[in-house]
Amino acid sequence: MEPPQRPQASLFQVYLRLRPPQAGNASAERAVLVEEPEQDNAPPTHITLNPPNDRRRAIEKFAFTRVFEEDATQLDLFQGTRVLPLVEAVLAPHGGDGTDGLLATLGVTGSGKTHTMLGSRSQRGLTQLALDVVYRSIDTNIVDCDTCPTLEAGLRSADASEAAIYSAPAFLENVYSDFKGPSRAGSRAATPMIVRPQHDFIRPSLLDMCPQLPGHFPDSPNSVRLVCHEDDLSHITMLSTPPSQRKQNMLPLQMPVASSRPKLAYASPQKKHYMSLTSTAKSKNLTKTPIKGDYPPPPTPRRQLQRPSALPQMPDISSIRASIDPSAEYAIVISMYEVYNDRIFDLLTPPVKSNATKEYRRRALLFKPTESSPDRKVVAGLRKVICGNLREALMVLEAGLHERRVAGTGSNSSSSRSHGFFCVEVKKRRRGRTDGQWGTSTLSIVDLAGSERARDAKTQGATLAEAGKINESLMYLGQCLQMQSDASSSAKPNLVPFRQCKLTELLFSNSFPSASVAQSVSHRRAPQKAVMIVTADPLGDFNATSQILRYSALAREVTVPRIPSITSTILANASSTAHFHLPEPSPGCSSPLGSPQSHHRPFFQQPSATYQRTFSPMSDTERATMENAAMEIARMADMIDQLNAELSRESEGRMAAEAHLLSMEDRVVELEQEIREECYADFEHRLALEMGRWKASLSLEQERGEEHWDRKIEVLARSVSVVLTAPSDEDDVEDEDKENVLIENLEQENDRLRREVAVLKRELSSRTPSKRAPLQERGDVSGVKADIPGLGSKMEQLRVSGSRDERAPRVTSTGSPTKKMRKLPAKKWDSIDVDDDLL
């Protein structure tokens, strides 16, 4: 049978990876069986899903681009899923802009998605391997931030997503310190690594590392297992076979990963399951005990992380290179974000402390068109890091993973609670053109959260609500995948409803060609190349696995192979007396009784079974009755199947609705929190304004009050001064001053007049007596003389008491009792009187 080719319209290549059995689960009934490939040496492409202990349920067959069995290594996956062509498409070796690539995993919780994408503490995942290839390939064409100071500014101006762009040294300095404390468990489990030394795809370097050893691994001859040792990740023990099957005479090897000094040690002879947890994983499980009501820790400020001393080096892909454009220079910009409860959060930006709740929270980002990207939605406002080499990129990856939400559940001790996106932006421009525009293409690596059943995962509270949201988004993703494969199998174009949630929007919005509205058709972007790796546990929950496979498989066929058991019973009872031939099933119908079956996208040959029963002779009527009964039973069996199918559809719908409800409740709680925070901030703002206003009016009021009291006091003082007979000392002084000035003026006037009188006298004495006329008759002197008595009376009026101690009231010439009178020295006035008399 030919493996199914990727249909033209299909948006994803879909691969299936089966995980090895988990410890303690080996005896469970295996539901997934891998079909033998029709051609020798061809990789398997089909699986059969057998319902356990339920003879009435249909057997389903699924087709994938390729199926990887339990013993497949990370390297097998890297090579078999064609990650290299994805990387090459992004690097655009033939010039021009690259094509975006998407590599994602989908599966039930605990089926090995994170293991596949991000690896474990002892082996690398597809993310690290893809990064390794990218950096190795552009090694001589990468631009260095240190030697090109304008690089950062150039990349910043070329970015269309309103991102904050940093250089890796600046970013890492901020995140990592030389912390000397014990290392913390990361977001991934320490996983035993299974390596097949004799495999078509294994590179010589790996074969060198894993010499062929005696032993047997399930379904895979000559397999070895590498187990990392507690507290020493630099060493791994190579076990020739699973411990459960290991014989006493087998010699485990211990090999250095980071250090070159080899160590030899004997593994414990104790019998262990071959997938039993390593000691590191055990300790991790102890510290992160699942389960009931295990809430994810609230986001905290990013502590300074411990710089990872040794990152896993295996598998080695040093000989693999992707083709690049030799005339171009490249820069790599990395960003990471997660989709949690249908909202996007940056994993490279530390959370900020909320004023209202005093908790550390992240700000959700928007997936939207921006000013520089009007035709294409982008995640706006991310923090991006320019990484000049593989080590920097891996450190940034580790920092981002540290921030990702992970929780222990009943199904997985470190279960991803969000869909993680790791984006490698490849910036490219013509070599040597420092002012040239950077073109961008992105390789997005996505580790989806796993679908889970609350009953199995034993989740509660927030973790349960998260699960609802995860299941809901995966259901939308499933719908999109089904639509795309339906579209590819029928001529009718089918619209993929990818705008239903953030996850599908992010995964599918680049799947269709887009042309910039502002630019010509030559700037049309090619749709992304996408690879989906579906992970499944063959011994896992049948319903969950079947649901995921149904969503994701490129083709599916349903067969109802058996006569319902009740029919067999009736026929068996009748067989003692009757012999007859049931009609053969019509071609294309798998039911022995000719009942119609529904087939989805058939690609398998129908089983051409002949169902014959032999009965002893019976009458025609009996035979007809039996036939009718059998037909009726078959019809009813069909009906039951249809009802069952309907029931399972309804249950799925109910589950989705419940999940939606849970997530809505969660959203409501979040909204309430946000509204509370906003109200609190608004209230504080208003309160501050009101306080300011109140203080201002208070001080104004105080001033007014003071003025008012001043005026009152003045009025009171005035009235008191009127009432009081004795004036105050101050008034006295003031009045005295005024009077003294007046007196002085008068004295000066007096002097002047006296001088005039003297002049006139002299003039008079120099005249002859006959010419002397009495002064009274002269007009020039008469005015002066007339004034003198008036002046005297004026002076009399102003006569005040000269002594300050005289407090007793005196009656002045005008009769006023209020003023003290000052007594002027009398001699001047007396002398004037004398002078006057003289005159």
Ligand X SMILES: Nc1ncnc2c1ncn2[C@@H]1O[C@H](COP(=O)(O)OP(=O)(O)OP(=O)(O)O)[C@@H](O)[C@H]1O
Site residues, ligand X (CB under 6 A): 19-20, 107, 109-115, 120, 189, 191-192, 194, 412, 414-416, 449-450, 535
Nearest to ligand X of 66, 529 (CB atom):
66
Cα distances (Å, whole numbers) of residue 381 to 496, 548, 602 = 28, 33, 46
Q: DSSP per residue over 673-727, as a string?
A: HHHHHHHHHHHHHHHHHHHHHHHHHHHHHHHHHHHHHHHHHHHHHHHHHHH-SSP
Token pair of 29, please? 């009934």
Contact 390, 396 (CB under 8 A): no
Cα distances (Å, whole numbers) of residue 510 to 65, 281, 479, 670 = 22, 38, 17, 30
Closest CA to 68 of 109, 115, 136: 115
241 labeled part of a ligand binding site: no
Nearest to ligand X of 119, 154 (CB atom):
119
As measured in angstroms, the least distance from the Cβ of 439 to ligand X is 34
Closest CA to 446 of 101, 694, 199, 184: 101
Nearest to ligand X of 184, 738 (CB atom):
184
113 labeled part of a ligand binding site: yes
Nearest to ligand X of 362, 419 (CB atom):
419
Nearest to ligand X of 191, 482 (CB atom):
191
Token pair of 283, please? 């300790």
Nearest to ligand X of 175, 227 (CB atom):
227
d(CA 818, CA 333): 98
133 labeled part of a ligand binding site: no
Instruction: Reduce the DSSP state of residue 422 to 3 states and report it.
Output: strand
Instruction: Reduce the DSSP state of residue 797 to 3 states and report it.
Output: helix
Nearest to ligand X of 71, 557 (CB atom):
71
Token pair of 216, please? 């047997």
Nearest to ligand X of 416, 801 (CB atom):
416
Nearest to ligand X of 188, 613 (CB atom):
188
Residue 253 burial (C-beta neighbours within 10 Å; 0-12, 13-18, 19+): buried
388 labeled part of a ligand binding site: no
As measured in angstroms, the least distance from the Cβ of 436 to ligand X is 41
As a 3-state breakdown, the chain gives helix, strand, coil percent values, each rounded to 5, of 40, 15, 45
d(CA 46, CA 839): 155
As measured in angstroms, the least distance from the Cβ of 294 to ligand X is 13
As measured in angstroms, the least distance from the Cβ of 117 to ligand X is 8
As measured in angstroms, the least distance from the Cβ of 116 to ligand X is 7
As measured in angstroms, the least distance from the Cβ of 288 to ligand X is 12
Nearest to ligand X of 234, 471 (CB atom):
471
110 labeled part of a ligand binding site: yes
Residue 367 burial (C-beta neighbours within 10 Å; 0-12, 13-18, 19+): middle
d(CA 580, CA 567): 15
812 labeled part of a ligand binding site: no
Q: DSSP per residue over 260-316, as a string?
A: S--B--PPP-S---TTPPPHHHHHHHHHT---TT-PPPPP---PPEEPPS----BSP
As measured in angstroms, the least distance from the Cβ of 20 to ligand X is 5
Closest CA to 290 of 401, 453, 412, 469: 412
As measured in angstroms, the least distance from the Cβ of 219 to ligand X is 13
As measured in angstroms, the least distance from the Cβ of 412 to ligand X is 4
d(CA 6, CA 16): 14
Token pair of 833, please? 């009187």
Which string of b and e fits 502-539 if b means at least 16 CB within 10 Å? bbbbbbbbbbeebeeeeeeeeeebeebbbbbbbbbbbb
Nearest to ligand X of 470, 634 (CB atom):
470
Contact 187, 120 (CB under 8 A): no
Contact 155, 387 (CB under 8 A): no
As measured in angstroms, the least distance from the Cβ of 407 to ligand X is 9
As measured in angstroms, the least distance from the Cβ of 411 to ligand X is 6
As measured in angstroms, the least distance from the Cβ of 275 to ligand X is 7
d(CA 333, CA 312): 22
Nearest to ligand X of 171, 217 (CB atom):
217
Cβ-Cβ contacts under 8 Å for 683 (sequence gap 6 or more): none
| Feature table: binding site | 107-114
| Feature table: binding site for ATP | 107-114
